Structure 1
Amino acid sequence: MPHTLLLAEDDRAIRHALERALTLEGYAVTAVADGDQALAAVRRDPPDVLVLDVMMPGTDGLQVCRALRAEGDRTPVLMLTALVETADRIAGLDAGADDYVVKPFDVEEVFARLRALLRRTGPPDDVPGEPRRASDGRIVAADLRLDPQARRVWRGSREIELTRTEFDLLELLARHAGTVLDHTTLYDRIWGYDFGPGSKNLAVYVGYLRRKLDEPGAPSPIHTVRGVGYVLREG
């Protein structure tokens, strides 16, 4: 069965071209022209992934994403944006988006990012320092408990709500707790490719995770190894 995809783009030419390209790539595409239509379509028949233009008349892509996340919808969202400032991209991540592509874009980049969003990170080979598994399949690392099947995470008794990409990143770090994962490995396993040396995408997501995990007297267990990458460990 092909993956179902909802595309919301108000520019007719871009919408038709992208719908055609995505269909040829093998997706079952539903294309709409604005945010209100997108919300109605998602609520009527939830897709596997959404592609949302940020700047649409009426209800824009950020508002669509916020509304879905507020309803508990965790469908992965790829944003299309003509805004190139870092603050604009962070606004998209704040709204609950999982990734973004800046216009004008190469359609192959869109394909790659969609593949990464839809790919489930498989269990890695055993490595030194790998965290223990609870009898119910949960991962226990530092003072975190992760349930990969339900995609839930707790720190102590507090459950922490994460976006799909945030959970994927934390799960990867937790599965390799105590082992430093370099930037290239993290980009490859989470996004499917490396954004390049100038990208701040990984740092932005680590920052979001740290803020969500931080507690008074108990800072985030995600540590930076300068010039290398990140590691999850206590202390």
Structure 2
Amino acid sequence: MGGLDKAWIKKISVLIVDDEEHILHLLKLGLINEGYEVETATEGMKSLQLIKEFHPHVTILDTIMLGMDGFKICRLIKKTGIPTSENILTAGDEVTDRIKGLNDGADDYLVKLFSFEELLARIQARLRNQFPDMFSEVKHGPFTIDNRRKEISYHEKLLSLSPTEYYLLKYLILNHGMVRSL
């Protein structure tokens, strides 16, 4: 029950900042396919403009770019006060690079070559931690799942469920129509 349901993801916006067009294209396609709303920038000033206009929940930054590097973008984003989870995705794999990125305000640091599934899991973990209210309640057909209260309603009528029944029904609702193995 680790992943986020696509019904929740529809509200989530991601900004990708990288000067490698093929990386931008692959990440954008993958994230759109997962249900995220995505904007991209290939340089620092454009990324700062998009931060102010788009207000992304997640920003994925490369640090190695011409002009303004991702470390500086990271520091400038923090100064805007816009709540975005900053995730560095870069070829810079030195420990000093990771320390610099995290000290400059990044919430996470992932080195290229990476697994797209790992990137998704890291994005989802950051979102759950930084925007917990975003995932507190979701409507799925006639069901409403309230994660904060651990309650499920059916046609707005609260169901009386044990904790095990809650997690099992939630799993069944969110995975309706999908074949799963246990």
Same fold per TM (> 0.5)?
Answer: yes
* 2:107 equivalent to 1:64: no
Q: Of the candidates 99, 102, 108, which is equivalent to residue 93 of structure 1?
A: 102
Task: Give 1:100 deviation, angstroms.
Answer: 1.0
RMSD of the TM alignment (CA)?
A: 2.0
Alignment of 1:24-103 (within 5 A): 24-103=33-112
String of CA shifts for 1:183-203, please: whole Å, max 9, x gaps. xxxxxxxxxxxxxxxxxxxxx
Residue 30 of structure 2 corresponds to which residue in structure 1?
A: 21
What amino acid is the match of 2:86? V
| Structure 2 partner of 1:2 | 11
Q: TM-score, normalised by structure 2?
A: 0.64
Q: Name the one with the larger helix percent.
A: 2
Partner of 2:143: none
Identity within the alignment, % = 40
Query: Where do residues 169-184 of structure 1 align in structure 2 (5 Å cutoff)?
Result: none
Matched, 1:106 2:131: no
1:188 matched residue in structure 2: none
Corresponding residue of 1:165: none
Count of residues paired in the alignment: 124
What residue ranges of structure 2 are gaps of 5+ in the alignment? 1-9, 133-182
Identify if the C-alpha distance between structure 1 residues 115 and 122 changes in structure 2 by more than 3 Å, giving closer, same or farther. closer
Deviation at 1:121, TM superposition (A): 8.0
Higher relative contact order (CA 8 A, sep 6+): 2
Q: 1:32 Cα deviation (Å)?
A: 1.4
Mark the CA change 1:93 to 1:122 in structure 2 (over 3 Å): closer, same or farther. closer
Give the secondary structure class of the aligned counterpart of 1:67. helix
Matched AA of 2:28: E
- What is the CA distance between 1:47 and its match in structure 2? 0.9
Q: TM-score, normalised by structure 1?
A: 0.50
